[in-house]
Structure 1
């Protein structure tokens, strides 16, 4: 019997970005704190490979605090996004989109 059989792993997971159900081995583990290597007492969310490729892979230092400060989920989407972009540009400079 394999050593890992006692782990409680599901065969399929749901992509947190698009909502598709995918095979676990076709997904990427996502840790909102950006520290997927420290596995103690963690439950990971998953992202499909397509959505993972679309993610910004820049450091997320201060992101959680910024979202709380700007009341993410508590204000309407348009007001939040406007405040977010304004605050990010004030603190970190202009946000540039990648050109394909």
Structure 2
């Protein structure tokens, strides 16, 4: 019936700060921005404090851009260079806005 779900008592780790906490005290994070489509997904988690610090405005294509430029796999300088070039190519420069 409506009893507790087994996933509620498991421990998860906040991807932002590394804190280990019970699942029911965490917030789900879907890097593709669609947490409502749950089929076949494994979610990452944020503690409530880290979740509050995030911008909750629509991300549109942000996650796709980050995956495309392989964020986290290269130096910060390389990432910023590739990301800036890709954003300017797709959306134009800030000066044009």
Q: Is the pair's TM-score, using the shorter chain for normalization, greater than 0.5?
A: yes
Q: Which structure 1 residue ranges, 4+ long, deviate > 4 Å from structure 2?
A: 1-5, 7-10, 85-88
For structure 2, the 5+ residue unaligned runs are none
Corresponding residue for residue 46 of structure 1: 45
Q: How many residues align?
A: 92
Corresponding residue for residue 57 of structure 1: 56
For structure 1, the 5+ residue unaligned runs are 95-100
Q: Which has the higher helix share?
A: 2
Name the SS for the 1:53 alignment partner. helix
> TM-score with structure 1 length normalisation?
0.68
Deviation at 1:11, TM superposition (A): 2.5
RMSD of Structure 2 on Structure 1 (CA): 2.7
Instruction: Give the whole-Å Cα distance in 2 for the aligned partners of 1:36 and 1:18.
Output: 21
Deviation at 1:32, TM superposition (A): 0.9
Deviation at 1:66, TM superposition (A): 1.4
